């Protein structure tokens, strides 16, 4: 089973700053099968990025994804107040799905 590691665990930033979140896989995965989600308290996760770099419907362009192989990045170019949340990466492979442990982006 592929294990995903996310860093940092918590990212403390101010509105307007740039956020860079990392997701590392224990073995190489297809970029087609790497996604990012945002989750706010009491809500279901929301798909942000699929295929490592494609924004889901309705996602603002301040969110971008990049990477390949074992290293992937979610970047939020300028944090808006509504962006403070937990972010998860997720991969699909060999008929199984795994999620990373999450990165919490909180207000500094």
Partner 1 sequence: QVTLRESGPALVKPTQTLTLTCSFSGFSLSTRQMYVSWIRQRPGKGLEWLALIDWDDDKYYSTSLKTRLTISKDTSKNQVVLTMTNMDPVDTATYYCARSFGVGDFDYWGQGTLVIVSS
Of 5 and 12, nearer to partner 1 (C-beta) is 5
- Hey, what are 19's tokens? 């956020």
Of 3 and 18, nearer to partner 1 (C-beta) is 3
> What residues make contact with partner 1 under the rule CB under 8 A?
1, 32-33, 35, 37, 43-47, 50-51, 56, 88, 90, 92, 95-102
- Least distance (Å) between residue 75 CB and partner 1: 18
């Amino acid at each position: 089973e592929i294990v995903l590691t996310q860093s940092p665990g918590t990212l403390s930033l101010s509105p307007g700053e740039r956020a860079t979140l990392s997701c590392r896989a224990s073995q190489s995965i297809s970029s087609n099968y790497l996604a990012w989600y945002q989750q706010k308290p009491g809500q279901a996760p929301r798909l942000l990025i699929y295929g490592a770099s494609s924004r889901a419907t309705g996602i603002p362009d301040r969110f971008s994804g990049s990477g390949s192989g074992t290293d992937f990045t979610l970047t939020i170019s300028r944090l808006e107040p509504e962006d403070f949340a937990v972010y998860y990466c997720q991969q699909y492979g060999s008929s199984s799905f795994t999620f990373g442990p999450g990165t919490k982006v909180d207000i500094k």
